Structure formats: C-alpha cells, structure tokens
Structure 1
Amino acid sequence: MANEEVYQYTPINAETIRLFTIVTTATSISCQVHHHAVNDVPSYCALSYVWGDEEASECVKCDGRTIRISQNLCLGLQMLHKQVGSQLLWVDAICINQSNDQEKAAQVPLMSQIYALAQKVYIWLGPVSDNSDLAMSCLASLNETFSVVDNLEAVDRSSLASYDLPTFDDPIWPAITRLYFRKWFTRLWVMQEVLLAKDIYVLCGEQAVTWQQMVKFANNYRITRMVDDVLQHHKIPYNNPELPDHGFSAVPILDILRDMIEDGRIINCMSLLEMARRKLSKEPVDRVYGVLAILPSEMRNKIRVDYSPTNREQYWHTFIQLFTALIESEGPRALSMVPSRGRCLELPSWCPDFQFENSMNSLGKHYAAGVMPSHSDKAGPSSIKIGPGPGSLQMRGVLMDGVKSTFPLAWKYIDAAQYDPRSAAKVVECEEACLRLSRQIYGAQEEVPVQHVTTLVAGMTVTRSHYSMDQIRADYKLATQRFRDFCKQPSDQQGTQSNANQIAFDRYKSAMKITWRHTNFFTTTNGTIGVGLETIEPGDDICIVSAAHTPFIFRKNVGCETYAFHGEAYVHGLMDGQAFAAKDPVSNVQDFIVQ
C-alpha cells in the first residue's frame, strides 16, 4: 500500500461530471475516467449500492493509479461489468473525489440529473448468501402464480398448496424474505437513485431481475397473511435498529412515488422526509443532502450543501435550515414530524432530529381542529412565524385544556401478542387500565364508552381514514376478545378464524399499533381523554393553533414565558374544529413562543 500511486483527480466544476469504463476485471479492476458536461453526456449506466462502514480495502486502477473502494463495491463492479461490458458508468465512490469537500458540495446538487440521465440504473444487493440464488431465480414464477389468485388475503401458511404455491416449509420463503431484508433497502441515498431512474435492474450475485419483478412480488407477498409467520418461524429480526426499513415496505412505496414523478404529479415532501428518517446514512448532514435531489426546487434552493468539517460537526444547523423551509411551505402540519426516537440537545423542541425515525405516527390531516369552516381558505402557514430570535417559533392559537393524568400504551407487545401469551397479557392489561380511566371520566352508563373505543385508535383506520362508528364498535369487541384468547393460547394453536373475523381483527389491531406507538393515554382537566406523545406529563397545556388539523401539547419552560413543543395529540371532543370555534378564537387567541 505504501508504494501505491494514488489517483490524482483533475478538478471539475458544477457543470461537469466524471464517467468511467471498466477495461478489465481479470486480476483486478482497471478503468479509464472521462469528463463530460452534464448537459451533453453520452449514454451511461449508474450503480446503486451500500456504502456501509466497510473499510476501503480493495483497489481500482484508474488510468494506472489507485482509488480504494469497499469490497462490496468491488464485487458489484465485477458483476456490473458482466452485464454491461464496456458501457460508460457512473459510481459515486469513483466519479466524485471523496476527499474534496468542495467538490462533493458541488456534485451533490447534480444528483437529480445524474440518475435521471442514466440509461439504466443497476441496484447491487450484494453477493450470494442466505439462499439468494434460489430467491432471485423464483421471483418471476412466484409472481405468475400469485397473479391468478383471486383473493391474496386468504393465502396463509395452511393454504399454500391449494394455490399451487410452495409449502410453508419450502426454503424459498425464508430465502426470498431475507432477500428483501438486505441492507440496500435501509440506505437513504437509494431513494433518489430509484425515484429518478428511467430503467432499473436488480443484481444479487450473478443473477439479475427487473425492478418491476421486485415490485410485483413485494405487493403480492405483503397482502397475504404469510409475512409475519415467516419472520416468526425463521427468527428473522423484524425490529432491528440496524435494519430500520425493509424491501416489503420500501419497494412498493418507492414504485408509487416513481409513478407519480412519471405522471408529473407532486410528491408530498413531508412523506419523502418521513421515509428518509427510516433509512441509514453515514453522516448526519446526509439526512438532508441525501434527499435534496427529490425535494421541490423552491425548498432545494434554500439549502446550501456544505461538507466543511464545522458544518458536519454542527449538523443541527442543516436540520433547522431544512425544517424552517418546510414550515414556510407546509405550515402547522409540518409539526407532525417533530417527535424523534432520539434528539440532539442543540435542536429547538419544534425541529425534528432527522437522524431518527419519527417516534409517533402522524395523526393525519383529516381532522380540522383549528380550521374554522368560515375562513378555512384563509388559514395557512401565517399562523406560524419564524422567530423572534434564533431557534424560536411564534404560534398563534388558543389554550383549550390541560393534561391531568397519563398512562403509557403497551405498543411494543402488539405484534408479538398472537404468538406469545405474555405479550398478549401486557396488551390486555394496558387496555383494561385505560378503560378504567375512561369509565372514571364518562361514567358507567355503558359497559365500554364509545369515546374509549375511538380514542384507542385515534378515530382512524390503519390507512388514516375515518373509522365508521358501527365498524369501530364491532372491531373493538372482536379484537379485545382475541387478545384475551391469546393470553391462554397462541393463534397457531387455535382453530381457524373466518376470513371476515381475521380481517376485522387485523384492521383494529393495525390501527391500535399505529396509534399506540410511543404514546401515552391521558385524561384532561376538563374531563375528556386523549392520546399523545410519550413525553407528555400532567400539567402540560393542550392548545389548538390556527390552521393546525390537530391539537398540540405545549409545556411552559421554567422561569420564562416560552414553551417546549411535545407533539400533536388526539383529544376526544376537540378534533372536528367545533370546540375551537366555540372558544371564540378571535377574542381568545394568543401567541405561544416555542423554543
């Protein structure tokens, strides 16, 4: 290594990119680098792969000199060469001088053009492992079999043979499941690489399939009742911090977004940023720069790419820069993004830490807590102003109620409840404790207050559409009884449920899972109940900000007139906008300074 002649990059400007051709992979990879104006590039292919934490242990000879790359990329280039031969290529580790922060800052804004202009984008999932050859070779045939099944929701471990599908013990199911759990699906930068690509192929080992085959299988498989059983039976980690996202979730969403871009439809940038928070990146600033190419131009133009050591160390300034632009664009609803599973102490309470996934699922935009019908068209982002002073927001709204008592919701046990009686017992105990609080508030005139049934799922189905009253009552009754049954016997030891009952249980359970995640059940000073972020405490204020679709929780900072933001909340009786209107917001409005 000491005698290596390191490749010396010729400087390029913000209107030029590098491409290269692989000359040979016989003993080691040898390539030639070319410079091209970005508005006049020849046909080329791009590679999407995992950077990870691998040491740059392999060398590539570029024009006779050495560039060091990871072993995973080295293997990917060898497989790519078999697919495309001497075709021009773009790969970030070679085409961008990784030791030059100024060049990276100039090239990152070009990503939207680089991937959009590529003739093909190849995804490198990695070398053969976990029976991946079997998975890749069977994708097309499984998709063909799935395509003739009338009701995919009826497919489960016991009915596979009747649909001419491999039996539950067949190695294809764990093989293909693990394929979709590869690290590539967790990487943040892949979002823009996939969304902007014209034509995509997926490589694993020496096999290749089209992106559409991956999409079809993910869409089919996740509709069946197979996924949870395969994960459980084969002990495939599901809630792994190192694998925060997986292909069965990411691939269908990315493909929907691809279709929207192709049709010229506008993509909700909040949805993009929430998806990015479930991904992994090497540096905190890349949480912003990694999605820059797919953000609207009016937001993209407000963010300056800066890879200087100071900005990388003080990355929170980039987070504030992005979120300030988002608030100016989206108004109060942007604040649904604030809860974070971890938090940098330098961030103000109203700014999310983009390093971490949102710790609370958004309550959605279908409520209208602070939008009065008479002037809803006029309500907008002006209800929130940046400042006064650095790190502050001024929010205009009305104090509606206060938090009286809280009880943590047992969200971690919902998925495992049907397999583990102890987990089922935790869910049952939690629900019964919340029911006791509800009865204290609403009395015992009915066995289960409808306010309780509704609040447990924030009045919404898993798709965040309104739950009808008749259906929510029936689903609650069935779901709570099933959880009690699981305390005595796991689901795989019980008799087969009717399809309608299973769908009803899954519907309410899924809505519970979304609502309970990192949340507390609470009672209020004025005698109602709600669900809010797990950080809320007795004494917190429940406020409705003009134009916000849900109430917010504020906590007054000690010794001053400012507040800390503790997320949005579902508060029974405050959601439809009528309570806000009844408070006469014109007379009772006040400014909350949130830091």
Structure 2
Amino acid sequence: MRSRTILSHAKVPQNLPFLLGNYQYTPLPSPTSIRLLELVPSEDQRVVQCSLRAFELEDAPLFFALSYTWGNPLMRLKSTIAFPKNSHTLNTVPNLSASDPDNGIFSQIYGEPESSKSSRRHSVFCDGRIIKVTSNLKDALRMLASSITSQSPSPTYYWIDALCMDQQNILERNAQVAKMAEIFKKAQNVIVWLGKEDEYTMDALTTIEKVSAVPEEAWSSVPYTSFYDPIQSSTYQRPDLSYHNWLGFIALINRPWFKRAWAMQEIALAKSATVVCGDKTFPWEKLSRTLSFIKASKWYHHLQTEKLRHVKSLQKNAGQYKRILQSKLDVGVGPVYLNATRLKLSKIDSTDPNEQNQKPPLRMLIDTHRFSKSTDPRDKVYAFLGLADRNMAPFRSQPNSLVPNYNLSVQEVYLETARVLMTSYRNLSLLSHVEDPSQTRIPNLPSWVPDYSVKLDPYPLRYRGPSYWKASGNLKWEPNIFSMANGELELTGYHLDTIDQTSILQNESDDPSASWASIVKLALSLDLPYPNPGNHNKSPGRVEVLWRTLTTDIYNKIYPAPPKAGSLFIDYILNLQIRHRLTPWSSSDEFQPHHSPLSESIYPEWRTLLQLEPMESFYSLGKYRERLATVVESMFNGTYSPIGLAQLQHEFDQSGGKRRRLFKTKEGYLGTGARSLREGDEVWILHTAGVPFVLRPQPNGHHRLIGESFVYGVMHGEMQGLSLPRRQITLE
C-alpha cells in the first residue's frame, strides 16, 4: 500500500520498471476461477494504480467488463489518389507505397492490430509492480479511474482481458478464452470503450440522440427517399438531421471496435452495455435503435460517402468532412449484424414463446461475421464459439471439437475448422466460402480451406438463391477424415470441360470498353446450338446465353430470370454504346470533335453479335434498331430515363461485377467464376455440390481449388445426361 502512496505523489522515472520489477501472475486457484481488477484512486491522473484478485466465477462480486480494441481505436484515412501538382490535399495526406493494391482510389484503413509486446509501451502499477499496456487501454483505464473516488463504499471491480488473463500462459489463456462467454454474461455491465473523441464525435452523438428518439411504430412511415427530402417532415416523424450529422455517424461507426471479432460475443451476451467515447457516455440501446431504424428505413443505401459526395450542399460546404467525402466509407453490414445478433440472443431466455429464439449455429456466425477483424487470426473462429448453439452442427455430432488452443498454429485451427464443419454437414458448401486465391493471406493453407482472416468478396453464389441450384443432382459424398486432417480433400466428381477463353475484368484495363469487348468476344465464339445436356425444349441464342450467365439467370429474386431482364439488356447495350462511343469526345470544358474514336480492336462488337441473331429473335439487329429509334425519340422528348437499368446493374454487381471473370470452355459452355481462373483450368461437378467448381490440375495429379462457378445449362444435374466418367480426385 505504501508504494501506491509514493507513486501517487511522485513523478514516474523512466527506469521505474527496473526498480519495481514486472508483475508476476500467480496461477489461478481452480479451473473455474477468474481474476478481477480493482482500480485504486490516485491524485495524479497520469498514474494508473490497480490490484488483481482471484475469485470463483460463480461467487464473484459485482463487476464490469471492458470491451475495447487493443490497437488504434480511431478511424484513420489514407489517400491512394495521385493528386495533381500543387494540390493542397497533397500536404494533408500520408504518402502511399507504390505497391499499394488499391492504387487509384481513396481507401479506408484501420489501425493495424498492435502486437502484444511492441505496442505495450505504457506502465500500469499493479500491486506495487509494473504491467505494460497499449495506448488505448491506458486511456480506457484512466477513463474508468476518473469515475472512482476514495470515498467509494466498496471496491469497483473490472474484467479486462489484457490484465486479468496471464497472456504469456498458454494453458491459462486457453481456459479463460473458453470461459469468456460466461464472464460477459456474469458482468453487471459491459463498458464499450470507443476511444477518445475526435472532430466528428458531436455530430455522431447528435444523430444517435435524434434517431433513437423516433418511435419504432413510426419507422415504417418514413419514406425511403425522404433522406434527401426533409420538406415533408411535418407528415411523419423523420429525424431532423443535417448531412454533416450523418457523416459524423458514418465516421463513428467506422471505428475499428465495430469490426472486432470479439465485440460480437462481448456485446451480444451483455446484460446491459454502456458506450463511452472520450468523456461522452450513452446506453447501447440508443445505438441499437439507431441501427435498427437505418435497417428498417433502408437508409443504409444512402449512408455511403460515394453517394453523399454528390449532394450539392456538401459539395459547397463539406467543412471538416472533406476528407471523409473523398474516402470510401459506409455504415456497412458489420454494425447492423452486430446489433441484430445481440437482439436475437436477447430473446433466447424470453418468457414469451413468440419471442424465443435459438442460438445461431457456429457455421452461420463464422460466415456472417467473416468481415470482422482480430489481432490473433485464430480468434476469427474462437470468438464465436461461446455464441454458438451446442445442440446444432458441428457440436451435435462432435461435442468436443474446436476447443480454444493457442498452441495450435493458425493453419491448424483453420484446417480443423474446415474439417469439422464439412464432416458435420457432409456437403461441399464450405468450398464456396473459400476466397479467391489472390486474396489468401495465411501461407500454406490447403486450397480448399477458407482463410478466415480475410473478408469474403464477392459473397458465395448460393446467396443469390440457395435453393436454386443442384448441379450434382442427388449424388452423395463420404468424407475421408484422415486425409482431411493431413490437408488433402478426397472427392468424387465429373470433369465437365476445360476453360479455353477468359474475359478482361473492368479494373484490368484503362479503357472502359475493354472489358465489354472481351465479353462480347466470348459470346461470339460460342457455337450454336448451345450445349443442351438436359434436353430442354429451347435453344437460346448467344445474346440470351450471355445475359443469363452475367446475371446467374436471376432478376429481382426471380429464377429463372423473366424475359423483362432480356429487354433491359438491350437497353443496357444501347447505353453502353452511347457511353463508349462518346467518351473520346467528352470534356469538362467543351466539345472537342478532333479527338480520335476508340480503336475498333478494343471496341465491343455488339453489331456483329446482334447480326448473328435470327431475324425473328427479340435480340436481332432489326429489333435493336427499332428500340434505338424509340430511345432516341424519347430522349428528344425528354421522356427517357435509364432508371429501369438500376435493377439489372444490381444483378450484374451481385453476380460478379468486377470480382468474377467470364469464361468459355472448349465444348462451348459459358460461365462465370473466380477472378484468378485462367485458360487450362478445369470445370468440375462434384458430388453434393450445388454449383460447379473451377479446379487447377497439378503436376502430381492432384488439383487445387480456384473457386465456385456458374455455368449456364448445367446447374440442375444435367451433366448426368452426358455419360461422363466418374473420377476420384484429391484437392491439396
């Protein structure tokens, strides 16, 4: 106790750790005990003093749990724009490495997770000894200590992972991580520390206050378009907020805490939660109502800086949000999913049977929160174990699987997770959750094991319609758990064909028409009649095969896509033609006819494609000319609007957009798949797989997974009519 008194009145010398020594953890007395931290009041706010005591979790005194991020808690922006000389922005934006993969756009980055040793630069005095903590935890401890006075009638206890667990003791860490769900359930309150305030915080808090005050029964009456039209505010209860207020909210919601993997468990299981940002405090329920309103009104579509930067009032007066508007930020799915999971779990113990919910299965939690981040990549699995329903797969058949074990490598944890999930569900749907090979970060992972440390982009095709496709029919798969444990996945399947042509993606060429030129070239190379292994009573032309493949044959959640989508595709071609042909003459200053048109070698050959259609076809050149005349006339009359193409563009984006590559096979199938696919890759239909997969043959006779695919004409078991030989293959 004397050391605390001395420290509270003296300046802390730089060599004090050598004088006092580092804190030495005493082993916990039992497997069911935890440590709790008591903060000791100090006259010097710069000095944090505390004490650690062990308790049985069941008999522990009332305590609070802290939820925070170890690294930099603030949203940070960096520019990847090449600014012109003398640009004033050049002096306010950090330099960018020339190797940055996002070169050419502004990108949002988060504080890199600080390593457990190099980032712990600040001293905390615990029972007369030194414990090193990160900058953000130091700030959080000072915030907590400031609320404690020496006149407090009883000790105030906290559970904080970095201090209450001996991070260097792997066995203890394993046991305590497995107990974290119980700890956060037991806590009287969870304190969410978002970090210090910044220049955007007040606008964010204004937004939360006003939106959370809108009654839930009024949410459905708030028009979707009213976000940009506050004039009608007298007719419904619309939150009266400025665009600056909303930008402040976007900035707050993009703080790293909202993408923490552990935040999901910490907030979802909390009896109650309090959010603290600097010296501002508000209950989680207000943020929850704000997020629920945004979801119900679908205003999250508007809350994107890429859209808000076009608002005239913001263009004239961006104020402190100039850099925010130049970035690529949105509300995102993270906070919405975080809140939705908490609301779902809060109903599990409800006495009203209509309100009761089951816990989500582990597979759903891992897939839904794939976007989340963690300092330790293994936590992208471990963070969700405490939330998962133990009565569902994989625990129903493998109750002792996936126990936190930090002695295992990241590769071992991810391999075991994939093995357990695939053998529990006994299908290959997990293969659709393997990221494009170019995105994998964890080295030496088998090609069929998802790298959970990276987000999945694009989403699996099954999210386009999970009940639509059954490429393998009813064929079954029996997993070989022994070979899987060694990193090899033994499969049974059919080699449908080999890829011989591929398209150019939109971001792979400086010319805006190059991608479409390559796509049209693929369509022109198709032989007719198109392969028909299912003996369907139709023979689609090249244009129809093309647009149905580009949309995965889905339009506005309808499968197969209605003819209306084909009509819109003709209009889409018209708009592409206008855009591509007029681009060389476009100028921000004046019309300049001396510019040269695009080279015909990279211009899409739409005319040739349409000429090949039969005269009676809806996609024939004659029908196209009729539609062109109608469109041009409506343009002169001022009645034409391409707004109807928005849904078709949405389908293109969801089906692949810039992230999936179109391909043609030797036998004339058209498909779309992973951006990393290339000529010579093989298209396979595998037992129990809903969609075909692109595999790359290896010199040793094995294959590597490149990704899932949509192949027009073979998505419903039609390949069984081809009499293809069944083969046993191994993915490595």
Using structure 2 for the length normalisation, give the TM-score.
Answer: 0.68
Q: 1:149 to 1:328 in 2, by over 3 A?
A: closer
Q: Does 1:57 align with 2:121?
A: yes
1:178 positional shift: 0.5
Mapped partners of 1:409, 1:225: distance in 2: 27
Tell whether the 8 Å contact from 2:501 to 2:522 is kept in structure 1 after alignment.
no
Letter in structure 2 aligned against 1:269: L
Other-structure match for 2:491: 395
Partner of 2:671: 530
User: Where do 5+ consecutive residues of structure 2 fail to align?
Assistant: 1-16, 72-112, 316-321, 349-355, 530-538, 588-634
Moved more, 253-262 or 325-334: 253-262
* Aligned positions of 1:519-558 closer than 5 A: 519-558=660-699
- Match of 2:664, SS state, is strand
Q: Which moved more, 1:543-552 or 1:231-240?
A: 231-240
Give the alignment's TM-score, normalised by structure 1.
Answer: 0.82
Which position in structure 2 is the counterpart of 1:459? 553
Q: How does 1:235-384 map to 2 (within 5 A)?
A: 235-236=323-324, 247-261=331-345, 262=348, 263-297=356-390, 298=395, 301-308=400-407, 311=408, 314-330=409-425, 331-340=427-436, 341-364=439-462, 365-372=466-473, 376=474, 382=478
- Closer, same or farther: CA 88–460 of 1 in aligned 2, 3 Å: farther
Aligned-partner SS, 2:526: helix
How far the C-alpha of 1:107 sits from its partner, in A, is 1.1
| Amino acid of the structure 2 residue aligned with 1:546 | H
Partner of residue 632, structure 2 = none
Change (3 A) 1:200 1:465: farther
Q: Deviations over 1:152-196 (max 9, x none)?
A: 431354x2444466576x531321111111111232221222233
Alignment partners' CA distance in 2, 1:430 and 1:582: 34
How far apart, in 2, do the equivalents of 1:503 and 1:81 lie? 58
Structure 1 counterpart SS, 2:728: strand
Moved more, 124-133 or 51-60: 51-60
1:231 positional shift: 6.0
Q: Could you tell me which residue of structure 2 aligns to residue 123 of structure 1?
A: 192
> Counterparts of 1:476 and 1:211 in 2: how far apart (Å)?
46
Question: Number of aligned pairs?
Answer: 559
1:313-360, CA deviations, whole angstroms, 9 ceiling, x for partnerless residues? Answer: x43122211111121123200111122412444222111222222344
Whether the 8 Å CA contact 2:40–2:145 is kept in 1: the answer is no
How far does residue 538 in structure 1 lie from its aligned partner after superposition?
Answer: 1.9
Contact 1:359–1:517 (Cα < 8 Å) also in 2: no
Residue type of the partner of 2:22? V
- Verify the 8 A CA contact 1:411 1:516 in the aligned structure 2: no
Q: Confirm or deny: 8 A CA contact 1:153 1:224 kept in the other structure.
A: no
Equivalent residues of 1:156, 1:225 under 8 A apart: yes
Alpha-carbon distance in 2 for matches of 1:300, 1:58: 42
Alignment of 1:108-257 (within 5 A): 108-144=177-213, 147=218, 150-157=221-228, 159-163=229-233, 170-221=243-294, 222-227=299-304, 228-230=306-308, 234-236=322-324, 247-257=331-341
Superposition deviation, residue 402 in structure 1: 2.2
Cα distance in 1 for partners of 2:476, 2:186 equals 37
Q: CA deviation at 1:97?
A: 1.3
Query: Quick check: 2:207–2:241 contact (8 Å CA) kept in 1?
Result: no
Secondary structure class of the residue paired with 2:18:
coil
Letter in structure 1 aligned against 2:274: Y
Q: Distance in 2 between matches of 1:42 and 1:583?
A: 70
Question: Shift in Å at residue 448 of structure 1?
Answer: 7.1
SS for the counterpart of 2:172 is helix
Moved more, 3-12 or 144-153: 144-153
1:434-449 equivalent positions in 2, closer than 5 A? 434-441=519-526, 449=543
Query: d(CA) in 1 for partners of 2:288 and 2:576?
Result: 33
SS in 2 for 1:179: helix
Would the aligned equivalents of 1:32 and 1:62 in 2 still touch at CA under 8 Å?
yes
Q: Kindly provide the amino acid, as one letter, of the partner of residue 66 in structure 2.
A: L
Q: Partners of 1:479 and 1:80 in 2: how far apart?
A: 58
Residue-by-residue CA offset, 1:38-58 (whole Å, 9 max, x unaligned)? 333333221111112452233
- Tell me how far 1:367 sits from its aligned partner: 3.4
AA aligned to 2:65 is A
Deviates further, 293-302 or 113-122: 293-302
**Aligned to 1:218, what secondary structure does the other structure show?**
helix
- Higher mean Cα deviation, 29-38 or 331-340? 29-38
Tell me by how many angstroms 1:296 deviates: 4.9
Shift of 1:442: 6.1
Q: How far does the alpha carbon of each residue in 1:521-541 deviate from its partner, in whole angstroms, 9 at most, with x for none?
A: 001222121111122222222
Residue 551 of structure 1 deviates from its aligned partner by 0.6
Residue of structure 2 equivalent to 1:406? 502
Does 2:710 match 1:570?
Answer: yes
* Deviation (angstroms), 1:557: 0.9
* Greater alpha carbon shift after TM alignment, 38-47 vs 262-271: 262-271
* C-alpha distance in 1 between matches for 2:642 and 2:222: 16
- Secondary structure of the corresponding residue to residue 251 of structure 1: helix
Q: CA RMSD in A?
A: 3.7
Q: Percent of aligned positions with the same letter in both sequences?
A: 22
For 2:258, give the aligned amino acid. F
Q: Distance in 2 between matches of 1:186 and 1:545?
A: 35
